[in-house]
Structure 1
Amino acid sequence: MRIIAGKYRGHQLVSFKADHIRPTTDRVKETLFNKLQFQLEGANVADLFCGTGNLGIEALSRDAKFCTFVEMNPKSLTITRQNFEKLKVPANQYKIISMDVIAFLKSYTGEAFDIIFADPPFTEKMAHFVVEAASVSQAFGNHTIMAIESQRKERMEDRYGKLVRFSKKEFGDKILSMFCHESALEEDTQEEENEDE
């Protein structure tokens, strides 16, 4: 695994042996960050089920301001911390929370994130429940973008309350979905109509 772009570009993340982790592939990561390239600078990011810290560190590499890494597995947290040390990520740019992701979303009381990454364990088929929790969480605001990976055969709706799926791309047995607040889609539509006039 490597960082694709930004100030940590080309740096390899620490190697590991952990059956519970299936990191986001470079192909999926490139697609994801190409879509987010104009939202990253200065962004407040959450990396849920952070695993190795791969996505959050990529965001920090591309000038995100701060990333909150949420993970419950002790081995994953150790790997994430090793990656911070290896890349010398400044301590004032991140926070690690050892907590169940659903519980984190339900109890969150801070400012809404700009970008939320979520890569739930591929064995548990819980992506649907993560977006469901995000849809009623203070973590998700009117201008938040959420990118979540799921298996092709697991449940995933196009709408969760006011959260709307605006992008869906398949990579083999994995699907990358992106959600935003319905009001953000309405703003984009209004801007396009104004440009056409």
Structure 2
Amino acid sequence: MARSKTSSPRSTPTAGRAGSIRLISGQWRGRKLPVHDVEGLRPTTDRVKETLFNWLATDVRDSRCLDVFAGSGSLGFEALSRYASYVMMIEQEPKAARQLQANLQTLQCTQAQVVCRDSLQVLQAGCNEPFELVFLDPPFRKELLTAVIPLLEQQGWLADRALIYLERENEGTAPLIPANWQLLKDKQAGQVCYQLYLRESPTS
């Protein structure tokens, strides 16, 4: 998140056992990866992650993926396990970023990059090669989606027909969604609501 998912007051990991994430399917199915003990780290739960990747069943393989607030890497590693061609993980918390890099080395995966910087600064710099799949799961109660979504559109991060996943707290203010983003899926699980959008070209 401009971040890590480290700004949420909830500090207990909720995916896999404490201190780890579990990959659900693909080449590393069932594999558990350690998560650094960073206060407030909030991995996407296995229940939500399974629903999301069911939605994306035919869209992950060979896609370029951007995990804007990588945190534990739960979503980015799942995409890699399901044969995404490349994943960029942005994580500003140094310890969490080092753990992401260590987990890539453990998996002997070279199709990913960890960027240890503030997400907003990275997005403001722009992108020359857009992404087909984007994960937006920022720290709760920071209203970061309001700042991130326009940057994705304005700075060239999104391919035509890109899929964008949003995860946020129910009680938060819903971000303004661009007119060219079509809502495909919308669900809730406990305190979390999550949506999948399809981006159309602004000129179409």
Normalised to the residue count of structure 1, the TM-score between the two structures is 0.85
User: Cα–Cα, structure 1 residues 76 and 126, in superposed 2: closer, same or farther, change >3 Å?
Assistant: same
**8 A contact 1:125–1:150 mirrored in 2:** no
Q: Is this contact kept in 2: 1:119–1:148, CA < 8 A?
A: yes
Matched position secondary structure for 2:39: coil
Q: CA deviation at 1:133?
A: 2.3
Alpha-carbon contact 1:135-1:162 (below 8 Å) kept:
no
Give the secondary structure class of the aligned counterpart of 1:165.
strand
Distance in 1 (CA, whole Å) between partners of 2:199 and 2:167 is 18
Structural mapping, 1:76-95, within 5 Å: 76-89=96-109, 91=110, 93-95=111-113
Counterpart of 1:49 (choices 53, 69, 74) is 69
**3-state DSSP class of the match of 2:32?**
coil
Return the structure number with greater relative CO, CA threshold 8 A, min gap 6: 2
> What residue in structure 2 maps to residue 165 of structure 1?
183
Contact 1:168 1:176 in 2 (8 A): yes
Task: Answer yes or no: is 1:138 the counterpart of 2:138.
Answer: no
Shift of 1:158: 6.3
Q: Take 2:147 and 2:165, find their aligned partners in 1: how far apart are those partners?
A: 14
Segment of structure 1 superposing worse, 80-89 or 156-165: 156-165
Q: 1:4 deviation in Å? A: 0.3
- Which residue pairs with 2:122 in the alignment? 104
Supply the distance in 2 between the matched residues of 1:52 and 1:20 (Cα, whole angstroms): 11
Aligned residue number for residue 192 of structure 1? none
Partner-residue secondary structure (3-state), 1:29: helix
Taking the TM superposition and a 5 Å limit, the aligned residue runs for 1:144-155 are 144-155=162-173
5+ unaligned residues in a row in structure 1: which ranges? 187-197
Q: Which runs of 4+ in 1 moved over 3 A?
A: none
Aligned with residue 174 of structure 2, among 135, 156, 161: 156
Code of the aligned partner of 1:10 = G
1:36 to 52, 56, 70: 56
**TM-score (normalizing by structure 2):** 0.82
Q: In the comparison of the two structures, how many residue pairs are matched?
A: 183
Q: Is the alpha carbon distance of 1:16 and 1:71 closer, same or farther for their aligned partners in structure 2, counting shifts above 3 Å?
A: closer
1:9 aligns with 2:25: no
Query: How high is the sequence identity, in percent, across the aligned residues?
Result: 29
Unaligned runs of 5+ in 2: 1-20
Q: Per the alignment, in what secondary structure is the counterpart of residue 175 of structure 1?
A: strand
Pair member with larger Rg = 1
**As a proportion of its length, which structure holds more helix?**
1
RMSD over aligned CA atoms reads: 1.9
From 112, 135, 143, the counterpart of 1:125: 143
